[in-house]
């Protein structure tokens, strides 16, 4: 058994665990593993380690990869391999939709952390964990968030060097767009700094200013589509009884065990409610993203706690922004209508746009991937879903929509013809999710013929968004019948 050799060798990224009443020391980094002290239930001491003595199941678990939509983007490098195009194909257009980078907690989360301060006011270990966030910065992009998007832009310049090498910035050629929220516009600027670094015309640094357009959220049918849809706001958002019922059921069945354990261990009176565990999880997430602190609120949670809370949040997102409600599968129709129009207008010479770069939110990414049929499980996500199904589910927001999550669409013109269409028969599309090539459903390979891709979208192209989202008594009643049906049959 490895023993401590030099107590003075303390470091903020080191921690320890207790196994069979013996202290094992190991290195704690955000990329390695998470050690929890079950016998003490307090802030972990910081020591030098030797990971080889740790149980594999413990050491291989990285809780920072299970923080749902508040997790950090997994790629932190400023380099990436250059693009390898399909044989006899040329990249002719590039489209991006990116979530904003890491941000400060919103005002609703700041309020939750104030509640934690009050609940833990008499607990010695938590007195060193005061809420560091204030309402004045609620929802704003952090320095880390700026850096994430800057690096994403730098990697785009490297991956697509041949594409960008022949393009000088022109707002008619490279179109930037963001939702009408400061953190998304700022994310777009950070991306532009990385993409055009050294290729602009301002100062010795060769900076390039860019124009980023946005429209009010209640009119933005492409990036803030749910805010522009009265039917979604009235049903999925305000009257989502299925989501609320499933969440309450799961809280009572699973999360209540965690709240009782922590309350008993720390002698908290009155004891924590199950919902307070969600607050702890969120406080942990922002402690990691804002200041790399993993030894405060995170130390109260065990491996299974992280997995269960992650699933609780995934259920909520599933019903609010994905397959849990039929309307969610259609809300990205205006985005894809605009996307198809942009591609085909360029290919037919009616437009000079080579790239659209759009910056929005986690919900935007979920709506887009849901319309494409990505990450769809063949069973609903409910409080009663079997453990093995939960463990193997495809829909995981920790992987899909961390801060700075992104979707690229690469458009190729090839010398090979894939169908009889005289204009678009030589066109391939490749989808990248978080910079990883991803097979589009109904496409055999990652490179998909344009005709096949359009067939997947079907009548979503040229949809009547206003009519679909119009709030009428009959539509609202139908939505409520849907919820009743789900509640009865789940």
Residue 135 and residue 146 in one domain: yes
Residue 25 and residue 72 in one domain: no
Q: For the ranges 36-40, 90-94, 377-381, which has the lowest average pLDDT?
A: 36-40
Given 23, 40, 61, the domain boundary residue is 61
Nearest Cα to Cα of residue 91 among 195, 174, 170, 161 = 161
So what's the pLDDT on residue 476? 55
Residue 43 and residue 83 in one domain: no
Over residues 118-134, the mean pLDDT reads 92
Over residues 338-360, the mean pLDDT reads 98
Residue 424 and residue 470 in one domain: yes
State yes or no: pLDDT of 333 exceeds 70: yes
So what's the pLDDT on residue 322? 98
The answer to whether residues 44 and 27 touch, using CB atoms and an 8 Å cutoff, is no
Residue 375, helix vs strand vs coil = coil
Q: What is the pLDDT of residues 403-433, one digit of tens each?
A: 999 999 999 999 999 988 999 999 999 999 9
As a 3-state breakdown, the chain gives helix, strand, coil percent values, each rounded to 5, of 45, 15, 40
Per the structure, the complete domain to which residue 30 belongs is given by 14-61
**438 belongs to a structural domain:** yes
Residue 168 and residue 216 in one domain: yes
The answer to whether residues 167 and 353 touch, using CB atoms and an 8 Å cutoff, is no
pLDDT: which is higher, 467 or 44: 467
So what's the pLDDT on residue 472? 84
Residue 416 and residue 362 in one domain: yes
Concatenate the DSSP letters of all residues of 86-145 into one string: PTTEEEEEEEEEEE---BPPPHHHHHHHHHHHHHTTT-GGGGG------GGGTTPBPHHH
423 DSSP 8-state letter: T
**8 belongs to a structural domain:** no
Over residues 242-253, the mean pLDDT reads 96
Task: Name the pLDDT band for 158 (thresholds 50, 70, 90).
Answer: very high
State yes or no: pLDDT of 110 exceeds 90: yes
CB-CB neighbours of 35 under 10 Å: 26
So what's the pLDDT on residue 479? 54
**6 belongs to a structural domain:** no
State yes or no: pLDDT of 58 exceeds 60: no
Number of domains in the chain: 2
Residue 19 and residue 161 in one domain: no
Residue 138 and residue 81 in one domain: yes
Over residues 378-395, the mean pLDDT reads 98
The answer to whether residues 438 and 432 touch, using CB atoms and an 8 Å cutoff, is yes
Domain of 234, CATH number, reads 3.40.50.1240
State yes or no: pLDDT of 177 exceeds 70: yes
**474 belongs to a structural domain:** yes
Q: What is the pLDDT of residues 13-55, one digit of tens each?
A: 333 333 333 333 233 333 334 444 433 333 332 322 333 333 3
Residue 46 and residue 151 in one domain: no
**382 belongs to a structural domain:** yes
Residue 54 and residue 100 in one domain: no
Over residues 335-344, the mean pLDDT reads 98
Residue 134 and residue 55 in one domain: no
Over residues 114-127, the mean pLDDT reads 93
Nearest Cα to Cα of residue 175 among 83, 98, 94 = 94
Mean pLDDT taken over the chain? 87
Beta-bridged to residue 355, according to DSSP, are: 94, 174
Q: What is the pLDDT of residues 183-233, one digit of tens each?
A: 999 999 999 999 999 999 899 889 999 999 999 999 999 999 999 999 999
So what's the pLDDT on residue 475? 58
Length of the chain, in residues: 490
State yes or no: pLDDT of 83 exceeds 60: yes
The answer to whether residues 140 and 104 touch, using CB atoms and an 8 Å cutoff, is yes
**9 belongs to a structural domain:** no
Concatenate the DSSP letters of all residues of 64-89 into one string: GG--GGGSPPS---S--PPP-PPTTE
**180 belongs to a structural domain:** yes
Residue 90 and residue 114 in one domain: yes
**7 belongs to a structural domain:** no
Q: What is the pLDDT of residues 295-325, one digit of tens each?
A: 899 999 999 999 999 999 999 999 999 999 9
């Amino acid at each position: 058994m490895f023993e401590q050799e030099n107590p003075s060798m303390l470091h903020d990224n080191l921690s320890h665990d207790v196994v069979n009443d013996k202290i094992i020391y190991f290195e704690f980094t955000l990329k390695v593993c998470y050690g929890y002290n079950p016998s003490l239930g307090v802030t972990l001491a910081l020591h030098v380690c030797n990971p080889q003595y740790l149980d594999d199941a413990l050491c291989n678990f990285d809780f920072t990869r299970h923080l749902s939509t508040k997790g950090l983007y997994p790629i932190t490098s400023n380099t990436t391999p250059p693009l390898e195009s399909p044989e006899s194909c040329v990249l002719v257009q590039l489209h991006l939709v990116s979530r904003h980078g890491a941000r400060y907690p919103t005002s609703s989360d700041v309020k939750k952390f104030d509640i934690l301060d009050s609940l833990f006011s008499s607990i010695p270990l938590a007195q060193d964990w005061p809420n560091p966030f204030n309402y004045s910065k609620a929802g704003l992009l952090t320095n880390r968030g700026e850096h994430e998007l800057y690096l994403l832009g730098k990697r785009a310049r490297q991956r697509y060097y041949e594409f960008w090498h022949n393009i000088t910035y022109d707002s008619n050629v490279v179109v930037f767009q963001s939702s009408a929220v400061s953190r998304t516009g700022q994310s777009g600027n950070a991306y532009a700094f990385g993409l055009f670094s050294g290729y602009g015309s301002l100062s010795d640094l060769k900076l390039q200013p860019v124009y980023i357009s946005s429209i009010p959220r209640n009119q933005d049918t492409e990036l803030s589509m749910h805010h522009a849809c009265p039917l979604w706001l009235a049903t999925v958002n305000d009257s989502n009884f299925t989501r609320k019922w499933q969440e309450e059921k799961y809280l009572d069945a699973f999360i209540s065990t965690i709240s009782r354990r922590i309350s008993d261990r720390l002698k908290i009176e009155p004891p924590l409610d199950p919902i307070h565990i969600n607050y702890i999880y969120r406080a942990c997430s922002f402690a990691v993203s804002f200041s790399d602190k993993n030894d405060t609120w995170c130390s109260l949670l065990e491996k299974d706690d992280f997995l269960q809370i992650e699933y609780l949040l995934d259920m909520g997102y599933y019903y609010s922004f994905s397959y849990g409600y039929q309307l969610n599968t259609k809300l990205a129709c205006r985005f894809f209508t605009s996307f198809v129009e942009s591609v085909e207008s360029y290919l037919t010479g009616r437009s000079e746009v080579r790239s659209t770069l759009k910056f929005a939110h986690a919900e935007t990414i979920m709506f887009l991937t849901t319309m494409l049929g990505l990450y769809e499980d063949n069973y609903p996500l409910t409080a009663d879903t079997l453990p093995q199904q939960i463990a193997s589910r495809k829909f995981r927001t920790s992987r899909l929509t961390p801060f700075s999550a992104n979707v690229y669409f690469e458009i190729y013109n090839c010398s090979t013809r894939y169908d009889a269409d005289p204009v678009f028969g030589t066109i391939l599309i490749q989808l990248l999710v978080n910079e990883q090539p991803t097979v589009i459903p109904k496409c055999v390979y990652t490179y998909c013929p344009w005709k096949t891709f359009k067939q997947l979208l079907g009548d979503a192209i040229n949809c009547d968004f206003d009519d679909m989202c119009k709030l009428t008594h009959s539509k609202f009643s139908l939505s409520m019948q849907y919820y009743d049906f789900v509640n009865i049959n789940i």
